[in-house]
Chain A
C-alpha cells in the first residue's frame, strides 16, 4: 500500500463516526459523535477539513440535502463511505488488531 493512502488517526475516527451515523452523517453529528465517544473537544472546522480530504481521496461520498428551518434555512452536506472507504477502514482496523496482538492492557502506569 502506498504511504499516502494510509489513514491518519483523526481521519480514522471521522470515518468510524460516518459509519456509525449512517444517513445522519454530516458535520455537526460527526463532531458530536467524536466528542461524546472520545472526550475530545473537536472543532467543526477540523471535522470539515478531514471530511473534505477523505472525499478528495475517494473514501467518502458527499450529498446535499434541502435547507431546513432548524439550520437557519441552510442546506446540509451528508457523507457516506465508498467501497474504497470501506476497504481502507477494514485495513486500518486489521493493522491495529495486528499491532495490539499479544499486548496486555492497561499498560503499567497508564490509565485504561
Chain B
C-alpha cells in the first residue's frame, strides 16, 4: 500500500532532499497505521492533507536548514527582480509623458526603488539563521542590486547606485541582527 504519488511528489518538491527523507518516512509509517485502522482511502486523504498543510513550514525549514545556496539565490532574485520590474514600470510611465521619455528619473522614483530594495533585502535577511548565512545573503543582495542597476534602461546617478548597493546588504544584516537581539 502506497500513499498518493502526487502527494509524495509535492512533499519531495517542497521539503528538499534532507528533510523529505525523515518527513516522508514518518508520514509513511502513520499512513500504514491509518490504512489498517480506517482503510486506504482515509489513509490517502490524511496523507495528502498533511502534505498540503505542512508545505509552508517545510519550505521555511528548507531555507533555514543549511541550504545557503537557495537563500543566496533567493536574495539575488528577490532584490534584482523587483528593481528590474520597477525600472520597467518607470520607463513605461515616462514613455506616456510627452517630452519626458529618455530623461533621468525623478528623485521620487529612485527613493521608491531604494525603499523596495531595502524591504526585499530585509525579508531575505530575516530568513537567515546563522551569522555566516546572513553575510552570504547580504553579499547576494548587494550583487543583486548591482545586477539590476546594470540592466537598468536609464542612467543611474552615482549617489543613487552607491546608496542602493550599500542599503541592500545593510538592511539585510540589520534585520538579522535585530532578530538575534529580540
Contact = CB atoms under 8 A, between A and B. Distances in A.
A binds B: yes
Interface of A: 3-4, 26-28, 31-32, 43-46, 48-49, 52-53, 56, 67, 70-72, 74-77
B57 interface: yes
Contacts of A48: 19, 22-23, 54, 57-58, 61
B37 interface: no
B21 interface: yes
A44 B32 contact: no
Contacts, number: 76
6 contacts: A3-B182, A45-B53, A53-B64, A70-B28, A70-B29, A76-B26
A28 B25 CA distance: 9
Contact of B22 (A43, A56, A76): A76
B54 A44 contact: yes
Chain A to chain B: the 6 pairs with minimum beta-carbon distance, closest first: A45-B54, A74-B25, A45-B57, A28-B26, A71-B25, A72-B28
Contacts of B155: none
B54 A43 contact: yes
Interface in B64-107: 64-65
Interface of B: 19, 21-30, 32, 50, 53-58, 60-61, 64-65, 129, 180-182
A26 B26 contact: yes
B64 A43 contact: no
Given A49-B57, A72-B24, A74-B28, 11 more contacts: A26-B26, A27-B23, A31-B26, A43-B50, A43-B54, A44-B27, A46-B57, A48-B23, A53-B64, A67-B25, A74-B25
A56 B129 contact: yes
A77 B65 CA distance: 14
Among B21, B22, B24, B181, max chain A CB count under 10 A is at B22
Contacts of B28: 70-72, 74
